[in-house]
Amino acid sequence: MGAKGFLAHKVKILGHQWIVHFHKEKDYRKAFGDDSLGICETLDKEIHLRIKKLKAEVVVHELVHAYMEELCTTPAGLEPGQVEEVAADLFAKYGRTLLSQSDQIIQAYEMLRERVGK
């Protein structure tokens, strides 16, 4: 299980609960290094985000990892063309949801940050 962020938000992904952790820069780098803006830990159903680099593109990127996990693409041993089809279906069916969830996660961070005064 990864490091806990100083703030966290629950999100449902295809009916499964995931936790989004928001990390301060120093804590994120200590836990995950400096070569990423976000991490999706599929086994723990957790997404970790650097708040200094918090952008919709990063949130959507990590959400796609989570959706692909919930669609069971990794253990299925799919060929590249099959993965491409799953990705196309993912965006066709859930693209608006992904964007909406990304916005909700960023808004949740802003509200949580205001509550704790950080």
User: At 74, is the pLDDT very low, low, confident or very high (cuts 50, 70, 90)?
Assistant: low
List the beta bridge partners of residue 24.
none
50: CB partners within 8 A, 6+ apart: 23, 25, 28, 37, 38, 58
What crossing angle do the helices spanning 80-116 and 56-70 adopt, rounded to 10°? 130
Q: Which helix (DSSP H) or strand (DSSP E) does residue 35 occupy?
A: none
This prediction has a pTM of 0.84
**So what's the pLDDT on residue 17?**
96
